[in-house]
């Protein structure tokens, strides 16, 4: 176990394998022929630690007492570089809202380096909000408290929900004010600056490949692909370092499979990413870059949390599966020069579709507690339910959680089946007429399906409670914690983090975290839609 970050074993393969930007300035500019630019984090004025992830402290091989040290605080806030760190900002491009945006890059993220734990696990440590880089496009490269709290909490919440995700080690205030225009409406304000230390096997995105392809730099495109495959997907090449077109196709197919699995998990818990640009898509199939995200409160397939996407809703909940395929198509186009034929890449895209469809069907059967039931019957029930739910505001999380409490015995009256679900409705007075009749009929058919397949109510309830969370990180919960932290009280972050570590449990005394969105939060800033500044 290590007592400081400097005691960790750094193994900086990305900077060793990829070409470096020869210019040392952080001035915003185009960077050609390089995978990254070496940069140094900005010194924080008066840093203070707000929160850490105990699980990540342990996973990295750090002693628990480490987080109380000044060395740790300075390292995770950018004040001191750990020994053997090789800090850099990566160069990448991306398609944003369907349009090629050219060079983007790490504009407010600085990677400290890669470590390998005693267990052989590789982790990349990255500071988000630690200062300007050549990719900041004239901005300051900093982050504010509200966005940093949201990133810290959400990455840990997603992990405990079982959703593939990047992680967060720590959340620190810098002691420096940062000017931000939250709604891009010409009313900027000073806000507390903060830094999140986030963790992933790597932060390589689809956009890292796109930038080289867009510039016709096939030499560095191959260098990046070889680095990513041999280091992070070694099982695909069995130790070989001379890779072939078939190896690139196999890798692309695996990325497609992982991406499908990730998005199925998003759909399961009602998560909406909000900014599914190709520069926000990880080759590891991990959720990355938590900006204007949100969870469905009422089940509205057309909802997106991103104010920038308000008009066209490209990244709405129901579109996420399609966008995953669209983004993979851009990655396929980027690596085509390494493959030279479309057939294998097309097959990889088809793998995405088949993987998503198969896993989505299994996931929905699990959410209904009907695993093992007749596939056609379950499919019909799913289709009918997803048509019924949007007809009145119905809390997705509460509905599926309480569905496990519905009694399925034949003698149970229809209204008795409905009773456990009533709290999931935001406007129960709208549950009348045809809608009520169709809901009751669906519940009767659901119960009959469970009886036909001899699914015991208690066993069904227990199984459903393992896939339908009691608690998710609703935007208003995060905003309440942010408000308290802004007033100097970080205890709300700690309370919420602890509850989110056990999202499938009924936690006595924590019922307030498992309630549907209160009316006051319907349109309050930070509690509904958010901007990319959030």
Query: Which residues carry out catalysis?
Result: 279
Q: Are 492 and 499 in contact (CB under 8 A)?
A: no
Token look-up 């009918």 returns 384
Q: Which residues have C-beta within 8 Å of that of residue 401, sequence separation ≥ 6?
A: 464, 465, 468, 469, 470
Rounded CA-CA distance 94/289 in Å is 14
Q: Are 259 and 316 in contact (CB under 8 A)?
A: no
Kindly state the helix (H) or strand (E) to which residue 48 belongs, with its residue range: strand 48-52
Across 73-139, where does the E strand assignment appear? 88-90, 93-96, 99-103, 109-116, 122-128
Rounded CA-CA distance 115/252 in Å is 25
Q: DSSP label at 428?
A: G
Output the CA torsion sign for 86, 87, 92, 98.
positive
Q: Which residues have C-beta within 8 Å of that of residue 276, sequence separation ≥ 6?
A: 314, 315, 320, 323, 324, 327
Q: How far is CA 198 from the centre of its chain?
A: 12
Contacts 24+ apart (CB under 8 A), 240-248: 245/338, 245/339, 245/340, 245/341, 245/344, 246/344, 248/335, 248/338, 248/339
Q: Are 120 and 126 in contact (CB under 8 A)?
A: no
Dihedral-angle region of residue 141 (phi above 0 means left; psi in -120 to 50 means alpha; beta otherwise): left
Q: How far is CA 125 from the centre of its chain?
A: 17
Token look-up 């579109």 returns 319
Q: What is the DSSP string of 167-232?
A: EEEEEEEEEEEEEE-TTSSS--EEEEEEEEEEEES---BHHHHHHHHHTT-HHHHHHHHHHHHHHH
Q: Which residues pair with 142 in a beta bridge?
A: 130
Q: Which residues have C-beta within 8 Å of that of residue 334, sequence separation ≥ 6?
A: 206, 209, 210, 212, 213, 214, 221
Rounded CA-CA distance 269/396 in Å is 9
Q: How far is CA 333 from the centre of its chain?
A: 24
Q: Nearest Cα to 207, choosing from 153, 277, 256? A: 277
Tokens of 316: 């709405």
């Amino acid at each position: 176990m290590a007592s400081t970050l400097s005691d960790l074993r750094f193994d900086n393969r990305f900077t060793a394998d990829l070409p470096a930007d020869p210019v040392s300035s952080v001035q915003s500019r185009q960077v050609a022929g390089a995978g990254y630019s070496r940069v140094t984090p900005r010194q924080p004025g008066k840093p203070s630690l707000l929160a850490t992830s105990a699980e990540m402290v342990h996973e990295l091989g750090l002693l628990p007492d480490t987080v109380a040290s000044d060395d740790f605080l300075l390292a995770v806030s950018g004040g001191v570089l750990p020994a053997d760190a090789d800090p850099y900002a990566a160069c990448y491009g991306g398609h944003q809202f369907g349009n090629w945006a050219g060079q983007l890059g790490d504009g407010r993220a600085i990677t400290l380096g890669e470590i390998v734990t005693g267990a052989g696990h590789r982790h990349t440590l990255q500071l988000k909000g630690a200062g300007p880089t050549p990719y900041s496009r004239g901005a300051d490269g900093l982050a504010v408290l509200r966005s940093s709290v949201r990133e810290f909490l959400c990455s840990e919440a997603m992990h405990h929900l079982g959703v593939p995700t990047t992680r967060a080690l720590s959340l620190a205030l810098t002691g420096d004010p940062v000017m931000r225009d939250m709604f891009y409406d010409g009313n900027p304000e000073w806000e507390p600056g903060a830094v999140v230390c986030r963790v992933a096997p790597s932060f390589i995105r689809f956009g890292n490949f796109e930038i080289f392809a867009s510039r016709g730099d096939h030499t560095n495109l191959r260098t990046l692909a070889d680095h990513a495959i041999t280091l992070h997907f070694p099982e695909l090449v069995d130790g070989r370092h001379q890779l072939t077109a078939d190896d690139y196709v196999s890798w692309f197919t695996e990325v497609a499979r992982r991406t499908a699995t990730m998005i199925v998990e998003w759909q399961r818990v009602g998560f909406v990413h909000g900014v599914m640009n190709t520069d926000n898509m990880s080759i590891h199939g991990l959720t990355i870059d938590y900006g204007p995200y949100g969870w469905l409160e009422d089940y509205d397939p057309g909802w997106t949390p991103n104010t920038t996407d308000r008009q066209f809703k490209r990244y709405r909940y129901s579109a996420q599966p399609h966008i995953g395929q669209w983004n993979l198509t851009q990655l396929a186009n980027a690596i085509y020069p390494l493959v030279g034929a479309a057939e294998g890449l097309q097959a990889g895209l088809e793998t995405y579709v088949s993987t998503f469809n198969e896993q989505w069907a299994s996931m929905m059967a699990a959410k209904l507690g009907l695993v093992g039931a007749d596939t056609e019957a379950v499919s019909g029930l799913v289709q009918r339910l997803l048509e019924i739910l949007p007809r009145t505001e119905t809390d997705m999380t509460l509905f599926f959680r309480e569905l496990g409490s519905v009694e399925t015995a034949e003698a149970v009256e229809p209204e008795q089946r409905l009773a456990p679900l009533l709290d999931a409705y935001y406007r129960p007075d709208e549950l009348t007429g045809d809608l009520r009749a169709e809901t009751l009929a669906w519940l009767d058919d659901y119960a009959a399906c469970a009886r036909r397949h001899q699914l015991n109510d208690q066993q069904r309830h227990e199984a459903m409670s393992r896939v339908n969370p009691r608690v998710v990180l609703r935007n208003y919960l995060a905003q309440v914690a942010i408000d308290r932290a802004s007033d100097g009280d970080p205890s709300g972050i700690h309370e919420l983090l602890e509850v989110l570590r056990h999202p499938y449990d009924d936690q006595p005394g924590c019922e307030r975290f498992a309630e549907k969105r209160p009316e006051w939060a319907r349109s309050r800033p930070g509690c509904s839609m958010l901007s990319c500044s959030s």
